[in-house]
């Protein structure tokens, strides 16, 4: 086995967006007579079905409209500089790009992902983008990561995936990729999920060291 490319999740792996997403979704929910709670927020973590979840709880709202209204709020937040990259994320992606092609695999809508990648400066490093709009079965199904591998022209076994959420780790592992986890607080408590990862890192800076180690180890084993 040889690692030839790296693909990253976006939200809370590279960009510090969770608080803004929570606020924006809560604003949309309130507009449609639903009080958004912490339990609601927890229920949608890392999933591509979040807009359907929101629509089910809001009067007169379809999943498509829910996604559109939330993305409007997030794109506006990006334009205002409300959030940005997590510490070390820019260097992490730049390092990965020196080692091979880079992709983004996100459960979020395409319009938001492209806006966030462009505003953060990540877009110049990225050769393939897969969003929640691009697959029928999102994370934790393997489909998003399988599509990313196809876009990069590689077998998934030759791709390293960097993820923070349980659903994302399950998705990448099911696709046959090597997984580097930068676990969220919730994911860090899930030992069953963490066992699917080849290694873990506490943040993007530590992840950069782990990427170097993984590439060296995998190269040595392939000799």
**Are 67 and 12 members of one domain?**
no
Same domain, 202 and 212: yes
Give the pLDDT score at 55: 96
Look at residues 46, 63, 54, 52 and name the one whose alpha carbon lies nearest to residue 30: 54
- Same domain assignment for residues 111 and 198: yes
Same domain (yes/no): 118, 57: no
Q: pLDDT at position 212, please? A: 87
pLDDT tens readout for residues 66-94 = 999 999 999 999 999 999 999 999 999 99
Number of domains in the chain: 2
What's the domain range around 34?
A: 18-79
**197 and 100 share one domain:** yes
Please say which residue of 46, 79, 112 terminates a domain.
79
**Quick one: pLDDT at residue 218?**
60
**pTM strictly above 0.85:** yes
End position of a domain, from candidates 79, 95, 120: 79
pLDDT value of position 222 = 56
Q: Are residues 128 and 91 in the same domain?
A: yes
Q: Looking at residue 1, what is its pLDDT? A: 66
Q: Are residues 58 and 112 in the same domain?
A: no
Which CATH number characterizes residue 72's domain? 1.10.150
What stretches in the chain show pLDDT beneath 50? 223
Q: What pLDDT does 14 receive?
A: 97
């Amino acid at each position: 086995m040889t690692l030839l490319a790296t693909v990253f999740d976006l939200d809370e792996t590279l960009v510090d967006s969770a608080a803004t997403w929570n606020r924006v979704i809560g604003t949309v929910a309130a507009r449609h007579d639903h009080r958004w709670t912490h339990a609601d927020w927890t229920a949608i973590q890392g999933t591509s079905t979040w807009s359907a979840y929101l629509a089910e709880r809001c009067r007169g709202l379809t999943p498509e409209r829910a996604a559109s209204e939330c993305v409007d709020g997030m794109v506006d937040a990006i334009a205002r500089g409300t959030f940005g990259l997590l510490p070390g994320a820019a260097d992490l992606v730049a390092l990965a790009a020196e080692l091979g092609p880079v992709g983004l695999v996100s459960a979020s809508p395409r319009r938001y992902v492209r806006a966030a990648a462009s505003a953060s400066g990540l877009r110049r490093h990225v050769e393939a983008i897969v969003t929640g709009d691009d697959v029928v079965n999102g994370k934790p199904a393997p489909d998003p990561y399988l599509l990313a591998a196809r876009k990069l022209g590689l077998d998934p076994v030759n791709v390293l995936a960097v993820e923070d959420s349980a659903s994302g780790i399950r998705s990448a592992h099911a696709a046959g990729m090597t997984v580097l986890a930068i676990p969220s607080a919730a994911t860090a408590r899930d030992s069953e999920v963490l066992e699917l990862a080849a290694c873990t890192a506490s943040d993007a800076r530590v992840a950069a060291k782990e990427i170097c180690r993984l590439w060296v180890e995998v190269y040595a084993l392939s000799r």
